[in-house]
Amino acid sequence: MATTTVAMGKVLAKVHENDPELPHGWALDSHGRPTTSTQEALAGFLMPLGGYKGYGLAMMVEILCSVLSGGRLGSEVGDPRDGKGPIGYSQCFLAIDVERFLPRAEFAGRMDRLIGLMKSAAPAEGYDEVLVAGEPEWRAEQERSRHGIPIEDGVWSKLLAAAERLGVPVPCG
């Protein structure tokens, strides 16, 4: 999950769509001023999720992923958009043995209760239901398992050209 208001992919989608405007609150320009300009956002920064509290969460993620791992820090990671130099993403994986805290069945029951409490809340205006973390992705996975993964025509054309150039057979269907 991005620790910014939106993931960079959303901004890059706007670039791909030739959309010059971003929603307010997504980005800052290179001087740290709020901007709705897609191009200024690319030269600047994405807004941290949750203001100063999100900034603190982002710092914690940076400590776990970069400082502890010995990986590249912050802007040292590199920019995959500019095609210059290596990209140095770092990661952190955390495993928790639930049964060190409480029996697995009790944990599952408490999780079900928590999810039920969240889903019993009235949805925000303009929404049909309250979702929990991972639910949109699970639904997308089910949909794509049934109907395939949507690929834009331009992307498909590039994939076909690369497959032909590399001699990779393309499955039909």
Kindly report, residue by residue over 55-113, the tens digit of the pLDDT: 888 899 889 989 998 888 877 877 766 667 777 888 889 899 999 999 999 999 999 99
Q: Residue 70 in contact with residue 83, Cβ under 8 Å?
A: no
Q: Is the pLDDT of residue 50 over 80?
A: yes
What pLDDT, on a 0 to 100 scale, did the predictor assign at position 74? Answer: 78
Q: What's the CA gap between 2 and 149, in Å, rounded?
A: 23
123 bridge partner residues: none
Rounded distance, CA 121 to CA 133, Å? Answer: 15
Tell me which CATH code domain 8-82+123-165 carries: 3.30.60.50
Residue 126: per-residue pLDDT: 92
Mean pLDDT of the chain: 89
Domain map (residue ranges) of the chain = 8-82+123-165
Residue 173: pLDDT band with limits 50, 70, 90: low
Q: What is the pLDDT of residue 138?
A: 95
Residue 170 CB partners (closer than 8 Å, separation 6+): 160, 163
Give the tens place of pLDDT for each residue, 152-167.
Answer: 888 899 999 999 999 9
Does residue 143 register a pLDDT over 90?
yes
- pLDDT reading at 34 higher than 90: yes
State the CB neighbour count (10 A cutoff) for residue 26.
Answer: 19
**From the CB of residue 56, how many other CB atoms can be counted at a distance below 10 Å?**
13
